[in-house]
Amino acid sequence: MSFLELLINGLRLGSIYAIIALGYTMVYGIAKMLNFAHGDIIMVGAYIAFCGIQNWGIPPVPSIMLAMLVCTVLGVAIEGLAYRPLRQATSLAVLITAIGMSYLLQNTALMIWGANTKSFPTTFINNSSISVGELTIPSATLITIAVNIVIMVSLTLFTSKTKTGKAMRCVSEDRGAAELMGINVNRTISLTFAIGSALAAIAGVLMCSTIPSLAPTTGSMPGIKAFTAAVVGGIGSIPGAMLGGILLGVVEIFGNYYISTDLGDAIVFAVLIIVLLVKPAGLLGKPMREKV
């Protein structure tokens, strides 16, 4: 494979990571929690879309919409039922709850869809490709990257221009002060989970069109890697999630090709460690200072 092709594959994988990382980074920024179950929402989204096309005969685009809707409801429900009662609890208690939620989603999926790996239809997104000179780019790759760019731009505009978006930034800066300013913190957090989960559904579909195998544990590892990407970019920062996601995606593809397959994961995590050693708050993160 040529360098350019690898780079494009890296961008595709990186775009998927970036979209998942957005969910992590927004939730972390606003609720200050590591939502371990986020990766499993991706899996749920992919399953819904899969069932939509394969079993229920719904065309692809409405299937994705359905997956987004289900994931949004699911994300909001999880937040309301499991995380909201723990607003005042230690971060460790919330983390364990999120881990429990992750187990719950995985095992529910196991009961509904079984342990067998499902082969995700790759013809799902138009199977054609575009040739530029000697380079052949599958249109799925272009769609993935384009979707990523659209999401980034619209989220950036949303948080900087709209009133709701600004409220989200307020809550992430100082929850107490935001509450005093009359911002409904609970509703803002719910909204964050809604957006993050809808994005997870999209990411799930895009991911399974790239690697067409779907099982109840499918979301777990990409979830961890996307969280890694969010931390690399600077957790809480939307451009950071983009940067971190793309960086890790490209590094993984190159690592797999030039060094060794299956060592990609190790290399991705090594990048995280190196970045945090140089910049403890991530590439675009703001360092925190304890007030004495």
Rule CB under 8 A: which residues touch another protein? 28, 34, 82, 85-86, 88-97, 99-101, 103-104, 106-108, 110-111, 220, 224, 227-228, 231, 235, 260, 262-263, 265-266, 269-270, 272-273, 276-277, 280-281, 290, 292
Neighbours of 56 (CB within 10 A): 11
Nearer to another protein, 104 or 143 (CB): 104
Tell the smallest beta-carbon distance from residue 84 to another protein (Å).
9
Tell the smallest beta-carbon distance from residue 94 to another protein (Å).
8
Residues making up the chain, counted from first to last = 292
Tokens of 118: 């499902």
Tell the smallest beta-carbon distance from residue 142 to another protein (Å).
31
> Can you say whether the dihedral through the CA atoms of 276, 175, 93, 242 is positive or negative?
negative
Nearer to another protein, 92 or 132 (CB): 92
Residue 248 C-alpha from the chain's centroid? 13
- Quickly list H helices, the chain: 3-31, 38-54, 60-78, 91-113, 139-161, 163-173, 175-180, 185-210, 220-233, 238-254, 264-278
Nearer to another protein, 137 or 263 (CB): 263
Cα 201-106-152 angle, rounded to 5 deg: 25
Tell the smallest beta-carbon distance from residue 186 to another protein (Å).
15
Tell the smallest beta-carbon distance from residue 195 to another protein (Å).
21
Tell the smallest beta-carbon distance from residue 289 to another protein (Å).
10
Nearer to another protein, 76 or 104 (CB): 104
d(CA 143, CA 135): 17
Q: What is the dihedral of CA 105, 106, 111, 116, to 10 degrees?
A: 150
Nearer to another protein, 140 or 229 (CB): 229
Nearer to another protein, 34 or 202 (CB): 34
